[in-house]
Amino acid sequence: MKLPGFRGVRTFRAGSLAAVALVLWLLPYGLDGYAIHVVDIALIYAVLAIGMGLAMGVSGQINLAQVAFFGVGAYVVAILTTDSGYGFWAAAVLALLATVATGLLVGVPALRMQSHYLGIVTLGLALGFINWITNASITGGADGISGIPQPTLPGIDLSSEYLYYYLELAVCALGLAFGLFVVRTSLGRRLRAMRDDPLAAAAVGAEIPLLRMTAFVLASLYGGLAGVLYAGLIRYVAPETFSIGNMFILLAMVIIGGRRSLAGCVVGAVGLTLIREWLSDFSTYAQLGYGVVVVLMVVFAPTGLAGVPGRVREFVNRRRGHAENRAELRPFQPYGESEPARVADDRPLLEVRRVTKDFRGLRALAEVSLTVLPGEIRGIVGPNGSGKTTLFNVISGFYRATSGQVAFAGHTTTTARPYALSHLGIARTFQNLRLFNLLTVRENLLVALDRTRTHAIWRYALWQPGVIGQERQLRDEATELLDRFGLADFAEAAPGSLPYGIQRRIEIARAMASRPRLLLLDEPAAGLNGEEMQQLARIVRSIRDSGTTVVLIEHNMGLVMSLCERVTVLSGGAVIAEGSPAEVVATPEVIEAYLGDSALADASPAPPTEDTAPARKETTR
């Protein structure tokens, strides 16, 4: 899909960036001493807000401890420079280390807790911090610490708030650039995937607890930077700067600016600092006003100011009536066949041994055993509620079996976590689609294509070219995969805006992006029309021929009969039959438990699956 004037858009962007840079550069010349002080404060809040945006907007982790990070940064500088005689910059480095350590500490509850509880816990930690600085003697109690020495830089007089502005501007610009770099590459994509759907993210290999922790560490890093800048600018720290009231102002900045956009966070921070200064004579009313604006924003513009251009564009496009909407789902391009050696291996790929799964009183699986050989397409059928999805959840690590074992590719995986199973080679789709809805289709695939482990994020700190190199390679692979699955026209679309059949296909493409050895498909044909089902059969067969073993839960007996060599039938959580489709449908238990006369009649003639001649359209169920 060619965007007309794409180059024009780029030039326009570069031009406006240059204009903004010029204005920022010249800004101090037009400001008096008081105004530059306010702007200096605004930039500190901007740095703070970027960290907040990374945790809340990008990663979806409620973080009310940001003022505590800010405080740790400022107080460590204050204590080290006044009590211990450290130089400003040495103290600054130690302050950053201390803040990141605090970030790790605050992130510990995040390892176990979901978002709302996390909000309460982080708020509690912030309150604890405030309490401590107000009462401890090392922090100077309510009086705070004054007499922080002037930071110096060779050739630049930082006692001038005009020149300090440029230091802050540089830190803020670098911080924003680094934040955007994170957001748009591997780590940020995972963080955003985690925000949209942590279960689906885990299924494609994201280590959720570590990622949550990373979100807090990023937030703390920016909090610490802001604290250091604050200590250097004001040279005095006291508890009221790090109060809960200021925490909520910060929250307001991020929500009004647009929490998912780091630039939006900066705009919100600078804007609200200026407005706050302007309204300082009416601070009680102003507080109330911010509260009202935040509520209005949450209700009417949840994406904040940063989301406005996108909404306008959407509106205009709708008015134009999708003039350029000629996007279509293209045919699937089959995979090349794999070496026969890989398929011919006859040791089981997956072994489920006497697995039982209880939910309180309910036995969803009762001693289920299942052996899948490499290269199989195994069908799992059974009435609703018979435990099929639960079986998938146990195999893929989402549920832990009450008893019994699961082994995959020679490893015992009974207690393995979903991300670990993804890295071992299990991929799955979900009965109710679970795409990352705020990521584009391309990004959905990129999350799964990226097989690096979370610890590889050290490269963000020490070797950025490594990240960029990997990014290029991933993007090439994504393009190839989009072409293979006929999704190229939708690469930049939001998955939620696409028809159901396309979303199902994206989910399979995403699962295949992780290059699995075993693919679990949970009712992939649900909601598809006849033509789409033909395509699905073709895709599944090609996936198997490429060397990936497939286990498929399906209600459509026609599809099962045409695709699967073996079928396992579940009923009431137990396996009641297993064998070739023809054997299974002839088993009296199966007829009684599940199929009934109508389904049998539907299933008997194996449907056509020649790609070229769809002789008969299949019906769902």
Residue ranges binding ligand ADP (CB under 6 A):
359, 362, 364, 382, 384-390
Interacting residue ranges for Mg ion, rule: CB under 5 A = 388-389, 431
CA atoms of 297 and 303, how far apart (whole Å): 8
CA atoms of 108 and 120, how far apart (whole Å): 14
Minimum CB distance to ligand ADP smaller for 100 or for 364: 364
Contact 215/231 with Cβ under 8 angstroms? no
CA atoms of 174 and 151, how far apart (whole Å): 20
First to last CA, the chain: 37
* Least distance between Mg ion and beta carbon 574 (Å): 16
Minimum CB distance to Mg ion smaller for 189 or for 388: 388
Minimum CB distance to Mg ion smaller for 191 or for 364: 364
* Least distance between ligand ADP and beta carbon 390 (Å): 3
Place of tokens 């911090």: 129
Name the DSSP class of 156.
Answer: B
Pick what 306 binds: Mg ion, ligand ADP, none; C-beta below 5 to 8 Å, kind-dependent. none
* Least distance between ligand ADP and beta carbon 387 (Å): 4
* Least distance between ligand ADP and beta carbon 453 (Å): 28
Pick what 385 binds: ligand ADP, Mg ion, none; C-beta below 5 to 8 Å, kind-dependent. ligand ADP
Q: What are phi and psi of 265, to 5 degrees?
A: -60, -40
Q: Per this entry, what is the length of the chain?
A: 621
Pick what 386 binds: Mg ion, ligand ADP, none; C-beta below 5 to 8 Å, kind-dependent. ligand ADP
Pick what 382 binds: Mg ion, ligand ADP, none; C-beta below 5 to 8 Å, kind-dependent. ligand ADP
Q: What amino acid is encoded at 176 in this protein?
A: L
Pick what 555 binds: ligand ADP, Mg ion, none; C-beta below 5 to 8 Å, kind-dependent. none
Q: What amino acid is encoded at 425 in this protein?
A: G
Pick what 387 binds: Mg ion, ligand ADP, none; C-beta below 5 to 8 Å, kind-dependent. ligand ADP
* Least distance between ligand ADP and beta carbon 572 (Å): 9
Minimum CB distance to ligand ADP smaller for 382 or for 558: 382
Minimum CB distance to ligand ADP smaller for 217 or for 381: 381
* Least distance between ligand ADP and beta carbon 392 (Å): 8
Minimum CB distance to ligand ADP smaller for 148 or for 381: 381
- CB neighbourhood size of 539 (10 A): 24
Contact 547/570 with Cβ under 8 angstroms? no
Minimum CB distance to ligand ADP smaller for 54 or for 528: 528
Minimum CB distance to ligand ADP smaller for 392 or for 419: 392
Report DSSP letters for 269-325, one per residue.
HHHHHHHHHHTGGGHHHHHHHHHHHHHHHHHH-TTTGGGHHHHHHHHHHHHHT-TT-
Residue 609: alpha-carbon gap to chain centroid = 38
* Least distance between ligand ADP and beta carbon 363 (Å): 8
Pick what 384 binds: ligand ADP, Mg ion, none; C-beta below 5 to 8 Å, kind-dependent. ligand ADP
User: Which residues are within 8 A (CB) of 396 and not within 5 positions of it... i.e. 6 or more apart?
Assistant: 203, 418, 421, 426, 428, 520
Contact 467/460 with Cβ under 8 angstroms? yes
- CB neighbourhood size of 362 (10 A): 11
Minimum CB distance to Mg ion smaller for 190 or for 378: 378
Minimum CB distance to Mg ion smaller for 80 or for 576: 576
Q: Select from 42, 98, 54 the least CA-distant residue to 73.
A: 98
Number of H helices, E strands in the chain: 25, 12
* Least distance between ligand ADP and beta carbon 404 (Å): 15
CA atoms of 388 and 75, how far apart (whole Å): 56
Pick what 102 binds: ligand ADP, Mg ion, none; C-beta below 5 to 8 Å, kind-dependent. none
Would you say the C-alpha torsion 159, 160, 161, 167 has a positive or negative sign? negative
Minimum CB distance to ligand ADP smaller for 81 or for 386: 386
Minimum CB distance to ligand ADP smaller for 214 or for 393: 393
* Least distance between ligand ADP and beta carbon 584 (Å): 16
Q: What are phi and psi of 498, to 5 degrees?
A: -100, 155
* Least distance between Mg ion and beta carbon 589 (Å): 20
Minimum CB distance to ligand ADP smaller for 367 or for 477: 367
* Least distance between ligand ADP and beta carbon 521 (Å): 13
The secondary element (H helix, E strand) that includes residue 175 is: helix 161-184
Minimum CB distance to ligand ADP smaller for 357 or for 505: 357
Q: Select from 114, 145, 141 the least CA-distant residue to 130.
A: 141
Q: Parallel, antiparallel, or unpaired: how do β-strands 236-237 and 350-359 relate?
A: unpaired
* Least distance between Mg ion and beta carbon 534 (Å): 23
* Least distance between Mg ion and beta carbon 197 (Å): 18
User: Which residues are within 8 A (CB) of 607 and not within 5 positions of it... i.e. 6 or more apart?
Assistant: 558, 559, 561, 562, 616, 618
Contact 534/527 with Cβ under 8 angstroms? no
The secondary element (H helix, E strand) that includes residue 567 is: strand 566-571
* Least distance between ligand ADP and beta carbon 536 (Å): 19
SS3 content of the chain, % helix, strand, coil (to 5): 60, 10, 30
Q: Measuring CA to CA, how many Å separate 341 from each of 163, 454, 546, 566?
A: 69, 33, 12, 21
User: Which residues are within 8 A (CB) of 163 and not within 5 positions of it... i.e. 6 or more apart?
Assistant: 156, 157
